[in-house]
Structure 1
Amino acid sequence: MLTVETAERMVGVLGTLNRALRSSSHRWELAVGMRGSDLTLLRRLQRHGEQRVSDLADAQCVTASVISRQITTLEQDGLVERRADPTDARVGLIRLSDLGRARLEQVTRRSVGVVQSALADWDDTETERVADLISQLAERLVHERERVLDRHLTTDTDAATAVAAFPDRTTDRNPTS
C-alpha cells in the first residue's frame, strides 16, 4: 500500500517535472517555430490519418470553433489540408500535408535529440521502463481525477461552493507582464 509520505513525494516530483517542462516550453516553441498545441494536432494527424474537425476537437478537449481557428492557421501555413467528406459535404476532413509531415519530422528529430542528450547515460531497457511507468501513471491519474471529479460534481452539493472558494486565476492576469 502506498504511504502518504510516498504519495506526497510523488506529488512533489510531478510538480517539479511539470514546472521543468513548462519553463522551457515557450522557449522550445520559439526555437521550433510552432506552438505545442499545433504539434499535438499534427502528431495526431500523423498517427491516425485524416480526421473530422469534430474528432480533432474532441481529442484536444476543445470546442469545434477553437480547433477550426487552429486548423485555419495551420492550413494557411501549408501544414494541413482540408477537404469535404465525400459522404457528407457538410463535414470537413483534415489531413497532414507533405510540408506538415516534413516539418513535424524535423521538430520530432530535435525533440528526440534533446531526450537522447538528457538521458545519454541511461540504457534502452531503463528508459523503456521509465516510459512505461510514466505512461501508466498518466493513465491512472487521468482516470482517478475523472472518477473523483465525477463523484464530487454529481453527489457533492457543496462542490460549487468548494470550487467558488478558489479564485479563477485565468482572468486574474497582469496585462503588463
Structure 2
Amino acid sequence: MDKPTHVIEFETMLLGRYSLSSRRGRLRLERSAYTLLSRLSGEGPMSIGQLSDALGLEASTLRRQTAAMMRDGLIDRIPDPDGGMARRFRVTSEGEQRLDSDRADSVRALDVIMANWSPEDVATFAAYLERFNTDIEHYHGRPWPRLAPSALPDRQGQRSPG
C-alpha cells in the first residue's frame, strides 16, 4: 500500500463491515431500511422514481424494500402532495421512533468507541468524514440532504430544541 488512497480504500471497506450497535432483545432496522428512512426523514415524502434517483437503486429493489417496510409499519403511501400521479412514501411515527432509537444507539456506541479521543480530534474527524462523503456524493451526482444540528437527536434520542 504505497498510496494513502490505498489505505483509505482498505479502511472504508473495513468500516462497511460494522454495525455500531450491539443491542440485544429488540430488532434493529436493516441497513437498507435505516438508509431509506434517513432519506425520507431528511427530505420528506418521495416516489419510487425519486428514491431510485436519490439512492442509485433499481425501482424493483426499492419496491421490495418499501413493501417490507410498509408491512413493518415504518412507512406508508400517500398521494403526491404536489398533485402528481405517483404516490409517495413517507415515514410513519413508528418509523421515526425506530430510526431515532437506532441512531441514538449508534451515537452512544460512537461515544464509547471514541471515548479516548480529544473533542478536537472528534470534531476534526467529523468534518473530514462529512467532506469525504460530500465529495463522493458529488462524484456520483447524488447529494444527500444534511440535517441541521438542531434536527439531529441528542444523546437521549430526543430532537434538540430549535
Same fold (TM over 0.5): yes
Instruction: Judge conservation of contact 1:81–1:97 (CA < 8 Å) in 2.
Output: yes
Supply the distance in 2 between the matched residues of 1:58 and 1:79 (Cα, whole angstroms).
Answer: 21
Match of 2:97 in 1: 102
Instruction: Judge conservation of contact 1:38–1:70 (CA < 8 Å) in 2.
Output: yes
Residue from 117, 124, 143 that aligns with 1:122: 117
Shift in Å, 1:32: 4.7
Higher RCO (C-alpha under 8 Å, 6+ residues apart): 2
Residue type matched to 1:66 in 2?
A: T
Instruction: Judge conservation of contact 2:29–2:98 (CA < 8 Å) in 1.
Output: no
Between Structure 1 and Structure 2, the one with more helix by share is: 1
Residue type matched to 2:11 in 1?
A: T
Between Structure 1 and Structure 2, the one with more strand by share is: 1
Instruction: Judge conservation of contact 2:28–2:102 (CA < 8 Å) in 1.
Output: no
| Runs of 4+ with >3 A deviation | 27-32, 138-146
Supply the distance in 1 between the matched residues of 2:43 and 2:22 (Cα, whole angstroms).
Answer: 25
Shift in Å, 1:29: 9.9
* Aligned length, in residue pairs: 139
Root mean square deviation, CA, Å = 2.9
Larger radius of gyration: 1
1:83 corresponds to 2:82: no
Gap runs ≥5 in structure 1: 147-177
Could you say if the C-alpha distance between residues 66 and 138 of structure 1 is closer, same or farther in structure 2, counting changes exceeding 3 Å?
Answer: same
Residue type matched to 1:44 in 2?
A: R
Match of 2:18 in 1: 24
Percent identity over the alignment? Answer: 23
Q: Give the SS at the match of 2:57.
A: coil
Instruction: Judge conservation of contact 1:83–1:94 (CA < 8 Å) in 2.
Output: yes
1:134 corresponds to 2:129: yes
Deviations 1:93-145 (A, max 9, x none): 11100000000111011100111101112233321211111222333356568
